[in-house]
Amino acid sequence: MRKKITVVGAGNVGATCAQELARRDYADVVLVDIIPSFPQGKALDINQAGAVLGYEPAMTGSNGYEETAGSDVVVVTAGRPRSPGMSRDDLVATNEAIVSAVTKEAVRHSPDSIIVVVSNPLDAMCHVAKATSRFRKHRVVGMAGILDTARFATFISQELDVSVKDVTAVVLGGHGDQMVPVVSATNVGGVPLPELMPKARIRKLVERTKFGGGELVGLLGTSAWYAPGAAAAQMVDSICLDEKRILPCTAYLEGEYGIDGLYMGVPVKLGTGGVEEIVKLRLTVDEKKMLRASAAAVRDVVSVLGRS
């Protein structure tokens, strides 16, 4: 029996995620947006691409949520994107209202779903989705670490002129400027990164990763969408296909890594039950310190919720 997936938000990220999922050809996908005819047009276009790429036309566009009923996974990409000069924190008030509203409608029609949050500021929006849905913590998870890790891995492969397929990296913490690229857990073909390049070059790549989203906003004039959409689709794959991948995702912590009552990016085992396990990674003293600083920054953003 085919799975059913809802993607809320037919903008760049949502449409990219929906197309990636359509190409997998294991699920019926409903693309939802408030703009009249917009998600219907995107769905029709993606369906027609199936005749070229070899997947079945199983995409539906909708301006409501009736057609989303019974979804296994709901991906929330709705919200205002970043523009030049805007931090993720600036988005809190606007996107809190949007994410709360779409989550309420989505879970009303799909009460047994898993929610994957993509909207920014990501960590705070996970809190909004969890509070609105009243789902248990394992059923609300955020997409951030996969994207940030992909950026780190890409920079490493370009710097060393090696295949990105051989780069194993991980980025933890909040989805912001204080994220933590974990150098101690990064290797290329099994060779630790510090053995392949000097510390000064590694520091430059770490800093570029931390501000990777801002770099793209500066180039594009808005937030990125290809890599975020692909990252969200990878999470949906692991949930719907019960792959139990170990992926860096934004999960609700209750004491893990010394952090309590906060959504943070950590390695998790992702399967049909959502976050099935939070994986403990051994960090250096400096990495632990940076993770605590990242947690403090996330708490500052979360503390703004509900004030608007």
Q: Is 127 a catalytic residue?
A: no
Non-local CB neighbours of 190 within 8 Å, separated by 6+ positions:
none
Cα separation, 208 vs 175, in Å, equals: 14
Coil, helix or strand at residue 275 = strand
3-state secondary structure of 35: coil
**CA dihedral sign of residues 122, 127, 128, 134:** positive
Asked whether 114 and 73 are in contact (CB, 8 A), the reply is yes
Residue tagged active-site, from 109, 127, 138, 175 = 175
Residue 138: count other Cβ atoms within 10 Å of its Cβ: 18
Residue found by looking up tokens 């808005």 in the block: 222
Question: Residue 121: which residues within 8 A CB-CB, separation 6 or more?
Answer: 88, 89, 91, 92, 95, 175, 176, 301
* Partners of 248 in the β-ladder: 267
Catalytic sites, residue numbers: 175
